[in-house]
């Protein structure tokens, strides 16, 4: 027989839902007698409660923040190997969750509950494993506050502004602005890590950092509304200085799809820089006699020419369009072990390889245009991800 006690008196005729979980007494399997008494009717009312044996595994735990349980915390339980779909749940009023799963390894992510007021907490992931010998895995999650902004940076969103060391807040319906400083005439990107308040998953958003004016050394990025992300976030950035080159261009080629930003040295004022017969886009003068321009799509090798304001076109040099990169393996273990081989002409000797916003920790040149790249653990990535290659 199973005895159940309600935590507080319940008025007569009040419907009561009884959720029986975590029963460890094997003798309770089968038909049980359920007796209910009330203060006004001490004579027990008998009923039956049918329990069936559960032969799988369970992931359970409690979500806390600053020593208190997090009510309605969104829970996301995903296989560590990235196979299959994720299981979603919501913690109860005591921050507790209890979910049946298959045997295996799991990444359990919990985040702050959604609401109109943003939380100062950020989602946290823990790893657990269930086996036949140990079918119940405890995944207690303690939410943390994100790392403060890097020195010299500001983050503004919906009237809220954070400065160096402060924790930025993102608002699901409003854009945000990140501002920082760096070497002049460079280019970079910022990675915003926020929490999806519907699933509890961490979401990483990569946004380009652009100089406010050529040579100013002040860089900004406009982050779009990140719904359903809402609340505390973190920001990391990197700025690449302007390359030091002696030829007419800092690059001699780029991918066939175009879009490669190239620096061109030409005397005087120019109105266009052409790649074959097609003008490049986003032409900007970044210094005296130095221009930045984005290459258009194309194939093969074409001649670059600069079109001065009042003079004949000037030859700049050849521009080679490279074929798209190829990848030997497009998937790997969730723990990040293993490698893939990338063939990418024209990216230099030390390219960066991204899995979503996460950078591979090992890129080894194997020969001309060929690189061995280490995978990143699935826990470091968003639920969906893709890889891309950045030039040196």
pLDDT digit string (tens) for 86-134? 888 999 989 999 999 989 999 898 888 766 566 678 888 899 999 988 9
DSSP H helices, 172-304, are none
346 Cβ contact list (under 8 Å, min separation 6) = 252, 253, 254, 255, 320, 322, 369, 391
Query: Are 316 and 339 in the same domain?
Result: no
pLDDT band per the 50, 70, 90 thresholds, residue 382:
very low
In a domain, 32, yes or no: no
Q: What is the pLDDT of residues 280-295, one digit of tens each?
A: 998 988 777 888 899 9
- Please say which residue of 240, 262, 288 terminates a domain: 240
- Round to whole Å and give the CA distance between 89 and 61: 12
More confident residue, 55 or 318: 318
Residue with the bigger pLDDT between 22 and 323: it is: 323
43 in any annotated domain: no
278-296 per-residue burial string, b: 16 or more CB within 10 A, e: under 16: eebeebeebeeebbbbbbb
**Cα–Cα nearest to 154, from 217, 211, 218, 229:** 218
**Model confidence band, residue 380 (pLDDT cutoffs 50, 70, 90):** very low
Q: Is the pLDDT score of 306 beyond 80?
A: yes
Residue with tokens 């779909």: 85
* Digit-coded pLDDT (tens) for 4-63: 556 556 666 555 555 555 554 545 556 666 666 666 666 666 666 666 656 678 999 999
Last residue of a domain, one of 322, 356, 374: 322
Q: Is residue 379 part of a domain?
A: yes
Lowest model confidence (mean pLDDT) among 205-214, 331-340, 349-358, 359-368: 349-358
The least confident of 15-29, 60-74, 188-202, 344-358 is 15-29
Residue 8 in domain:
no
- pTM exceeds cut of 0.95: no
Same domain assignment for residues 318 and 350: no
Three-state SS for 112-169 is CCCCCCCCCCECEEEEEEECCCCCEEECCEECECCCCECCCCEEEECCEEECECCCCE
pLDDT range class, residue 391, cuts 50, 70, 90: very low
**pLDDT > 70 fraction of the chain, expressed in percent and rounded:** 73
Tokens of 170: 């993102």
Assess whether pLDDT exceeds 60 at residue 392: no
> Cα(45)–Cα(387) distance, rounded to whole angstroms?
63
Whether residues 269 and 343 fall in one domain: no
Comparing 273 with 348, the larger pLDDT belongs to 273
What residues have CB less than 8 Å from 288, skipping those under 6 apart?
Answer: none
Q: How many CB atoms lie within 10 A of CB 194?
A: 29
**Is the domain of 158 the same as that of 233?**
yes
Q: For residue 296, what are the domain limits?
A: 253-322
Mean pLDDT of the chain: 79
CATH number at residue 96: 2.60.40.10
In a domain, 98, yes or no: yes
- Asked whether residue 10 is assigned to any structural domain, the reply reads no
Last residue of a domain, one of 213, 240, 267: 240
Domain count, the chain: 4
Question: What's the residue count for the chain?
Answer: 392
For residue 228, whether the previous peptide bond is cis, meaning omega lies within 30 degrees of 0, is yes
Residue 20 lies inside a defined structural domain of this protein: no
Structural domain contains residue 160? yes
């Amino acid at each position: 027989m199973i005895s159940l006690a309600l935590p507080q008196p319940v008025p007569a005729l009040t419907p009561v839902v009884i959720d029986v979980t975590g029963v460890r007494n094997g003798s309770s399997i089968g038909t049980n007698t359920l007796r209910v008494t009330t203060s006004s009717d001490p004579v027990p009312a008998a009923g039956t409660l049918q329990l069936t044996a559960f032969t799988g595994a369970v992931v359970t735990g409690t979500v806390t923040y600053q020593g208190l349980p997090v009510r309605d915390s969104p829970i996301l339980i995903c296989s560590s190997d990235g196979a299959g779909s994720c299981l979603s749940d919501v913690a109860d009023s005591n921050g507790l969750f209890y979910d049946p799963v298959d045997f295996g390894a799991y990444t359990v992510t919990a985040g702050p509950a959604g609401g109109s007021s943003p939380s100062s907490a950020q989602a946290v992931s823990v790893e657990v494993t269930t086996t036949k010998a140990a079918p119940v895995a405890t995944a207690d999650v303690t939410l943390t506050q994100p790392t403060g902004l890097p020195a010299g940076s500001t983050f503004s969103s919906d009237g809220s502004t954070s400065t160096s060391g402060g924790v930025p807040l993102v608002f699901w319906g409003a854009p945000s602005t990140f501002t920082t400083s760096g070497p002049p005439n460079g280019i970079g990107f910022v990675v915003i890590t926020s929490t999806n308040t519907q699933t509890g998953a961490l979401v990483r958003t990569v946004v380009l950092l652009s100089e406010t004016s050529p040579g100013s050394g002040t860089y900004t990025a406009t982050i779009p509304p990140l719904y359903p992300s809402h609340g505390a976030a973190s920001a990391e950035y990197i700025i690449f200085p302007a390359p030091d080159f002696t030829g007419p261009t800092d690059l001699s080629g780029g991918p066939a799809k175009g879009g490669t930003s190239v620096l061109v040295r030409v005397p005087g004022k120019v109105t266009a820089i052409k790649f074959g017969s097609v003008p490049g886009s986003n032409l900007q003068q970044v210094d005296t006699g130095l221009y930045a321009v984005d290459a258009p799509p194309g194939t093969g090798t074409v001649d670059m020419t600069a079109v001065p304001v009042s003079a004949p076109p000037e030859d700049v040099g050849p521009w080679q369009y490279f074929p798209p990169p190829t990848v030997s393996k497009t998937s790997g273990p969730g723990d990040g072990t293993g490698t893939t081989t990338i063939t990418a002409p024209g990216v230099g000797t030390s390219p960066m390889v991204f899995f979503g916003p996460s950078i591979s920790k090992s890129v080894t040149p194997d020969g001309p245009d060929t690189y061995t790249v280490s995978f990143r653990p699935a826990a470091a990535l968003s639920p969906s991800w893709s890889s891309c290659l950045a030039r040196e």
